[in-house]
Amino acid sequence: MSATQTDAPEAPGEPSRVDLAALYRDSGIGDVLAELDRDLVGLVPVKTRIREIAAHLLVERARESLGLASGAPTLHMCFSGNPGTGKTTVALRMAEVLHRLGYIRRNHLVSVTRDDLVGQYIGHTAPKTRDVLKRAMGGVLFIDEAYYLYRPENERDYGQEAIEILLQTMENQRDDLVVILAGYESRMETFFQSNPGFRSRIAHHITFPDYNEAELLEIAERMLATMHYRFDADSRLAFSDYLARRIRLPNFANARSVRNALDRARLRQANRLFETALQGRAPTDTAALTLLTAADIRASRVFDERAPELDFPRAGHDTSPPDRIQNT
């Protein structure tokens, strides 16, 4: 018996087979998974889980077409891991997979934090939370650093009201909204222990690992390519040395820290070129405008053993826009 044939007896006029390969092709989810592989460095365990979820949902669609549906699957998820490990990018791709398979009406993701959901005074939280839910309905609601919704140490905090509204919506409108909670792994575990209603509604828990040095260097080179910059052999070695040091320091945020480091190196390059121009030297050519030198990299205070912490912002406080290739 083939993998696409069911064991159920065939009733008159009813098919007993389904072409999974055709369903896969027609849905276009293969394109989404290919984009995920192409755009995100590493993250093999995450990509494997996303493929498994996509395969499960595709099979559920096949079962439904043969009258074997066992009820709508629970789709709410938790993405746990350190900053800069691709959680937002994967959430966007997950929304596209769900849309192409018909589990959500819109290929639409609304990304929020506590400030978007919780009010500052009595009567403020409910309308804020319901407005966010209204905007996200039919698509995916991505709640970053979800554990900040729960602050038991503050008796006058209104986060619990937002939690209750979210839980009710996740249960009663699960056919029209998928919620993805995200944040540090240890803090998310504490959050679930304090709010078991969330744990019971989450079907998929996906852990995002940190990148290793080789992966971070590849991420850096991809980012530079999109901005029309480049390393040469010396600056590539310097940035590799930078990464080896930076990873060991506090508040390291993976791809986010890489982006921040490159932004500062670009500032140093611009200042170097400006000073050179003021000295009346030859006009600046394309090669000079695109190259980050080893000196641009090694000017970072990460190489200064006395005060390296002054060189970078705290993790979780990055206000720069997300990068197209390697997102938070």
Residue 304 CA to residue 307 CA, distance in Å, equals 6
Identical fold for domains 20-208 and 213-311, yes or no, is: no
CATH level 2 (architecture), domain 20-208: 3-Layer(aba) Sandwich (3.40)
* pLDDT tens column, 103-131: 999 999 999 999 999 988 888 999 999 99
Instruction: Copy the structure tokens of residue 147.
Output: 């554990």
Residue 229 CA to residue 219 CA, distance in Å, equals 13
Separation in Å, CA 155 to CA 150, 188, 240: 11, 21, 48
In this structure, which CATH number among 3.20.20.70, 3.20.20.140, 1.10.8.60, 3.90.550.10 belongs to the domain 213-311? Answer: 1.10.8.60
Q: Give the 3-state secondary structure of residue 266.
A: helix
* pLDDT tens column, 160-180: 999 999 999 999 998 999 999
For residues 40 and 87, the answer to whether their CB atoms sit within 8 Å is no
Specify which residues 62 forms β-bridges with: none
Which pTM value belongs to this model?
A: 0.84
Domain ranges of the chain: 20-208, 213-311
Residue 203 CA to residue 314 CA, distance in Å, equals 32
Average pLDDT, the chain: 87
